[in-house]
Structure formats: C-alpha cells, structure tokens
Chain A
C-alpha cells in the first residue's frame, strides 16, 4: 500500500504507523517499509479482518494515519558491515533500514527468510539498493534451504532483525554480535497510553508501542 501525505513525523527506520480502518474500532499498527518525501510505503500480510479490509481499499481512499510511532532502529551502533535479517512479515522495515545504512556508507548484508518460494518478496528491491542479499526458504524451493540462521555470514559488525518469535529465539543464540530486535504485539492505542502491549525487559517494563518496538539484544527477557 502506498500512501501520500504528511510524513514529517517519521524519523527512524523501524517505526510504525497506526491506521484507522472503516468498520473496525482499534487502529491497525503497520511497520514503515519506506518513506520518501510525502510517499509512505507499507507492506502487510492479510492475516485478519483489518488487513483484509486494507487489501480491498480502492485507489484514492483517504485514511486517518498516526505516524512517528515507536522508537525505531538505532543506526549509530551499526559498525561498518551490519547484517539485516527479515523473516516473512518482518521483511518490510528492513528496506528503509537498508537504504539509511547504505546512505551512511555501510556494507549491508540482508538475509530474507520465508517458508516457501511463493512467499518471497522484495529480493530484487534489496539487490537494486546494492545490498548483498541471501534468501532462505524452509522447504528449499528458493535460495538456501533452511532458516535464516543457516545463512549467517562469518563476519558482521552488528545485526538488526524483524520477524517471528521462533526466528528471534534462534537468532539470539546463533548471532555473535549485539543487535536489535523489532517486536510485534497486539496494541490498544499505539502511543503509550493504555499499557496494552507491555513486556518485561532487563531494564524494566517497556511498552512495545512507545519504548519499542525495537529492543536491544541485551535487554530482552524471553518468556517461557
């Protein structure tokens, strides 16, 4: 989905926006895939009623969108050769992150993980940016067979990731550097008021929507 409007509040890669959708009470939080001028690109997977309604929207539809939500990724610790790992619906925020890191002159490696070839998206877009791109599929139908952890390079300066929890747990163990994880949670407000999306961290209770969604590797506590 491509939206046109005031995007000035969007500062960092890894932030999200919250969309008001007709017929639904709560807004739908969607990660920022890309922003350029007044154009905002969102990529989402249809998983329920809200995203289904989004996919049925016609060109020219006007939406109420809260922007500039969440902390986003901290690029200042990337080092020279950061590794970006996106799993499935976690791929989109890696795009703006990759663009920003490349603009800083970094050598960016991207691993995109999917279940099967039919689900693969944005491989060419990341290549066009100039990233070193590796794709994994669980069934081996495209790229490297296996999980993103099967494609980890020997050396990288830091890592950034977004994706499902099992991937996060595997990466937490398999990675050799520090990194940042972008979490997903059912939200009430999306701007820190309702405590609907709280989690426990080493540095205290955090709201995924306001203090996250990006948490540093060192502060994560895995719930059993």
Chain B
C-alpha cells in the first residue's frame, strides 16, 4: 500500500483523485495529453437513457475564480456510450471507471444503471440527482429527501456495483438528503454538484448563458463545498467523495480532513488539462509539509475548533 492509496466502497484506488463528470469526457481527450492511468479513477460524462444535444449556446460564462456552464447533459445515450465510448475508454484507461448517470424519471435511472451494471470496467455508479441544467429531471430528484431516496432504491435494485449518489448544493438541508440516500441503501455520497448561478452581459443586458442560468464551479466555490462535505461526512456512515473548486494538492488534503475518502476535481481540468496529474505529483510534498504519512490517517480528521 502506498501512502496515497484509498479504498472507496470496497474498490482500491492508487490515489484519491477523480476528475469530475463533465470535465473529462470519456477520458480519451486527456489521454492524448498524459497517461490517465495515474488517476485514482475518473467519472465519465453524465449519461442518460436517450441521447441528448443539451442546451443552446452560449453554454459557458466567465466568473471571478470560476465559471458557469449550462451544457445540459449532452451525451449520446447509454446504448451508444456502451457501444462506442467505453471501448475507446478501455484502450486508454485500465482501471475501474466511475459511471455518472442522470435521468428524467425513476425508470430512466434504473434503465441506464441496469445496462451499465453489465459493463466490467464500470467500478462505481455515480448517480447524479443534481444537474442544475435540465428541466423536469436531474436536480429535481436531488432537492427532496424522498425523491433522492426513491432514485437510490431503484438503482440499488438493478446493480451490485457500489452506488454513489451525487448531491446538489442548491437545497436548504443537504444533510437530510444525504441521510435519506444512506437509509435507501446508497454506498457513498458525492458532493457537491455546481451552484446555480447567472451572469448578465452589460452591453446587451441579456444573460450570458442562453439558458439564462447555469452551474457555477471553480475555486470560488471551494469553501461552500468543503463546508457541505464536512456536514455530510459527520452525519452519515458511508464514504463521501468531496468535490467543488478543488484545484491544488492542499485543497485535496483539506477536503479529506473534512471527511472525504476521495476527491473530485472538476473545472480545473478545463483551464489546465494537466491539473489532476500535477495534483497527484504534488500530493507527497504537501503531505510531508503537513506531517501526513498516509492519506487514510486524515480522513475526517479535522479537529474541533
């Protein structure tokens, strides 16, 4: 066991670093830039039952220390993902991958997860009940404890793979939703998805994003994400995957102290495609600096103030 190894829901990872869904495609764009097998794993592009184009453009807006996206779950649909994307992924990535799944009904989630359950390379199912960019689905399942629990139960019924439910921060009580997912059988909780945000173009006085609003991510949201990871990790007894604005090895250590077993890196991959590689390379020195022998020693290790 190396000093970076962690175990997420029964699967060993060489390190806790996971590029977040939607920022890493199906891996192969990044495999042209570096050997992505150095990653703990990665969460592939959010996949739905039917193929989707997503929202009209512009889908992207600049923000202070971050960005807004309103892609809207563009993906070719689960059948094509399995037939076309996973074989390409398999050529450049040789570890269990995290399959990110979204849906518009309980049936959608169960259908998509059941198909991905057959795929050997899928290690975990990350069930996204938190996409802010689609109407009538996604986040609406993640804003009520009952609906989130219902999705969790439906998915658990069709798969033996670990189910990690990815939660939205756009709620009044994220802890209640996390607990409801745990009671419904979730094997882990992942948080946070993006924060609903907006920009207005001063020249045109119109929203920058064609869909008016979108998901805010980047370093600016790190303190919010850390706070929520801390709250959820202290309330549940299942592993927590922490993410939101993580862009340095120090951010990773902070997330793990707050209670994260593994850490997702999102927007930073888009502005620096080498971000995850650099974070993994920088982790040992950052651990030395803060007298950490093994990352497992610090999970949830934040002290009382």
Check B218 for interface membership: any CB of A closer than 8 A.
yes
Among residues 59 to 73 in chain B, which have CB atoms less than 8 Å away from a CB atom of chain A? Answer: 59-67, 69, 71
Mask, A193-214, CB within 8 Å of B = 1, is 1111111100001000010000
Check B29 for interface membership: any CB of A closer than 8 A.
yes
| Distance between Cα atoms of A219 and B54 in the complex (Å) | 20
> How near does chain B come to A134, taking the closest CB pair, in angstroms?
31
Known: A25-B64, A25-B271, A50-B62. A191 touches B29 (CB 8 A): yes
> Which residue of the partner chain B has the closest CB to A185?
B57
Interchain CB contact under 8 A, A26 and B67: yes
Check B270 for interface membership: any CB of A closer than 8 A.
yes
| Distance between Cα atoms of A25 and B61 in the complex (Å) | 10
Interchain CB contact under 8 A, A196 and B23: no
| B interface, over-half SS | loop
Residue in A49, A50, A194, A196 whose Cβ sees the most chain B Cβ within 10 Å: A194
Mask, A156-190, CB within 8 Å of B = 1, is 00000000000000000000000000000111110
Chain A residues with CB under 8 Å of B53's CB are 198, 200, 205
Interchain CB contact under 8 A, B63 and A25: yes
Mask, B243-284, CB within 8 Å of A = 1, is 000000000000000000000000101111100000000000
| Distance between Cα atoms of A50 and B62 in the complex (Å) | 10
Known: A20-B271, A188-B67, A194-B71. A26 touches B60 (CB 8 A): yes
Chain A residues with CB under 8 Å of B74's CB are 195, 198, 205
> Which residue of the partner chain B has the closest CB to A66?
B273
Among residues 1 to 30 in chain B, which have CB atoms less than 8 Å away from a CB atom of chain A? Answer: 22-25, 29-30
Check A192 for interface membership: any CB of B closer than 8 A.
yes
Chain B residues with CB under 8 Å of A196's CB are 57, 59-60, 69, 71
Interchain CB contact under 8 A, A198 and B57: yes
> How near does chain A come to B138, taking the closest CB pair, in angstroms?
15
Among residues 143 to 161 in chain A, which have CB atoms less than 8 Å away from a CB atom of chain B? Answer: none
> Which residue of the partner chain B has the closest CB to A196?
B60
Chain A residues with CB under 8 Å of B56's CB are 223
Chain A residues with CB under 8 Å of B208's CB are 186
| Distance between Cα atoms of A200 and B52 in the complex (Å) | 11
Chain B residues with CB under 8 Å of A27's CB are 271
> Which residue of the partner chain B has the closest CB to A23?
B64
> Which residue of the partner chain B has the closest CB to A194?
B270
> Which residue of the partner chain A has the closest CB to B201?
A48
Chain B residues with CB under 8 Å of A195's CB are 22, 25, 45, 54, 59, 71, 74
Contact of B30 among A193, A197, A210 (CB under 8 A): A193
Interchain CB contact under 8 A, B270 and A189: yes
Chain B residues with CB under 8 Å of A49's CB are 62
Contact of B29 among A66, A205, A210 (CB under 8 A): A210
Among residues 191 to 208 in chain B, which have CB atoms less than 8 Å away from a CB atom of chain A? Answer: 208
Check B301 for interface membership: any CB of A closer than 8 A.
no
Interchain CB contact under 8 A, B61 and A193: no
> Which residue of the partner chain A has the closest CB to B65?
A25
Chain B residues with CB under 8 Å of A20's CB are 271-272
Check B87 for interface membership: any CB of A closer than 8 A.
no
| Distance between Cα atoms of A200 and B54 in the complex (Å) | 11
| Distance between Cα atoms of A183 and B62 in the complex (Å) | 20
Contact of A186 among B58, B66, B219 (CB under 8 A): B58
Interchain CB contact under 8 A, B57 and A193: no
Chain B residues with CB under 8 Å of A191's CB are 29, 33, 273
Chain A residues with CB under 8 Å of B273's CB are 66, 189, 191, 193
| Distance between Cα atoms of A189 and B33 in the complex (Å) | 13
> Which residue of the partner chain B has the closest CB to A200?
B53
| Distance between Cα atoms of A194 and B29 in the complex (Å) | 10
Contact of A193 among B25, B63, B64 (CB under 8 A): B25
Interchain CB contact under 8 A, A194 and B23: yes
Chain B residues with CB under 8 Å of A187's CB are 60
Known: A194-B270, A197-B57. A25 touches B67 (CB 8 A): yes
Chain B residues with CB under 8 Å of A194's CB are 22-23, 25, 60, 69, 71, 270
> How near does chain A come to B102, taking the closest CB pair, in angstroms?
14
> How near does chain A come to B92, taking the closest CB pair, in angstroms?
14
Known: A188-B60, A192-B29, A197-B59. A26 touches B270 (CB 8 A): yes
Give me the interface of A with B, judged by CB distance under 8 Å: 20, 24-27, 49-50, 66, 185-189, 191-200, 205, 210, 223
A25-B64, A66-B273, A188-B270 given; name 18 further pairs at CB < 8 Å: A20-B271, A25-B62, A25-B218, A25-B271, A26-B60, A26-B62, A49-B62, A186-B61, A188-B59, A188-B60, A191-B33, A192-B25, A194-B69, A195-B71, A197-B60, A199-B57, A205-B53, A210-B29
- Of all A-B residue pairs in the complex, the 4 with the closest CB atoms, nearest first, are A189-B270, A186-B58, A196-B60, A195-B74
Give 9 A-B contacts (CB < 8 Å), ordered by A residue: A25-B63, A26-B62, A186-B60, A188-B69, A189-B269, A192-B25, A193-B270, A194-B71, A198-B54
